[in-house]
Amino acid sequence: MRFPFLLSIALLTLPGCGNHAETSSLAVPAAAVQGQSPGEKRVARSPSIAYEHSLHLDVHEDKIGSVYEAVQAACREATADQCVLLESRLDTGDHASATLRLRARPTGIEKLLTLLSIQGGVTHISRTAEDLAQPMADHSRKLAMLHDYRSRLEVLRVRAGSNIDSLIRINKELAQVQNDIEALDGEIARLRQRVETEILNVHLDAVHHRSFMRPVSQALANFTSHLSEGLSSAITGLAYVIPWSIMLFVFAWGAGKLWGRSKRARARHDLGREDQ
């Protein structure tokens, strides 16, 4: 007795997310960000558009650490906006900078943008939009087919009765279909979260707010290391020059000897001609 398992093959031919996502970029002036209010009414959102923001902030180098901590604290307090810190990095070396990547509901992103806009000068802000309508529709269609296929398999399992071989094959196929359904449910939930929330990438740097004496202090701090590097380079250069100097000296001495012999030989030859 054979069962119609060919439907599982047809499911594999359905397109996945594919490359149908449309991406656009929109540059927003810094003044526009500073003028936004957390309570300002937003333009109607599409149920399938995922937004991602990027903000570059010029902050005084002494305040980068405090702004970095303030953003994280604001995200921790924004539980109602489902704010999550996805990535963070703080560099406190010669060139202090910080990077944060956060995810939150649109209202939470607006609050974070407003908070950041008053912490320093906004040098760049942009927003990208990705249309996830096609992958969401593909996943929903594939999920519906899997549910229908599972229902058919359950009917076949009832009809199989005491046929052990058929029951083993049907149960194995049911387990695989259930795994596929759970995987698709997770992917659909991820896409919905991507649409219902937004991503904010924050870059903190001290471009125009660097201390006047910082380059001088850095040069003084690195003086000994630069001096040792210079001495090592000079010694290395001297090691290359000495052999070449010896070779050039030997070559010049040999050339001088040959030139002197040639000159004396010509002088004797000219003297002999005069005696004749």
Q: Are residues 126 and 229 in the same domain?
A: no
Q: In whole angstroms, give the CA distance from residue 50 to residue 271.
A: 103
DSSP designation for 44 = P
Token pair, residue 4, equals 């119609």
- Of 205, 236, 263, the last residue of a domain is 205
Note the Cα 228 to chain centre separation in Å. 36
**Distance between CA atoms of 133 and 77, rounded to whole angstroms?**
32
- Whether 125 and 235 map to the same domain: the answer is no
For the whole prediction, is pTM greater than 0.75?
no
- Which pLDDT value is given to residue 257? 77
What is the residue type of 37? S
Same domain, 200 and 250: no
Q: Given this model, what pLDDT does residue 14 score?
A: 36
In which domain, by residue range, is 75 found? Answer: 23-133+196-205
Is 82 part of a structural domain of the chain?
Answer: yes
Question: Percentage of the chain surpassing pLDDT 90?
Answer: 44
Give the model's pLDDT for residue 67: 92
Q: Is residue 255 part of a domain?
A: yes
Determine how many CB atoms are found less than 10 A away from the CB of residue 164. Answer: 9
**Residue spans of the chain under pLDDT 50:** 1-32, 34-41, 209, 212-213
Calculate ∠ Cα 56-57-59, nearest 5°. 150
Note whether 87 and 68 are within 8 A (CB): no
In the three-class reduction of DSSP (H, G, I as helix; E, B as strand; rest coil), residue 64 is classed as: helix
pLDDT tens sequence across 204-238: 988 654 554 455 555 555 667 767 788 788 888 87
DSSP annotation of 89: E
Cα 125–Cα 129–Cα 23 angle in degrees, nearest 5: 110
User: Do residue 239 and residue 200 come from a single domain?
Assistant: no
Q: What contacts 92, CB < 8 A, 6 or more positions away?
A: 64, 65
Number of domains comprising the chain: 2
pLDDT at residue 9, as a whole number: 35
Same domain? For 102 and 54 the reply is yes
Which of the listed residues 205, 238, 256 is the one where a domain comes to its end?
A: 205
Pull the structure tokens for residue 37.
């209010």
Q: Is residue 1 situated within a structural domain?
A: no
70 and 201 share one domain: yes
**Predicted pLDDT at 163:** 86
CA distances (Å), origin 80, targets 41, 75, 108, 135, 253: 18, 10, 8, 28, 89
The residue type found at 139 is H
- Long-range Cβ pairs for the range 159-165 (8 Å, 24+): 160/1, 163/1
Do 95 and 200 belong together in one domain? yes
Give pLDDT, residue 34.
42
What is the rounded distance in angstroms from the CA atom of residue 137 to the CA atom of residue 18? 12
Which pLDDT does position 3 carry in this prediction? 38
Q: Is residue 43 one of the residues assigned to a domain?
A: yes
Q: What is the pLDDT of residue 147?
A: 95
Are residues 128 and 239 part of one domain?
A: no
Q: Which of 159, 177, 205 is the last residue of a domain?
A: 205
Which CATH number characterizes residue 37's domain?
A: 3.30.70
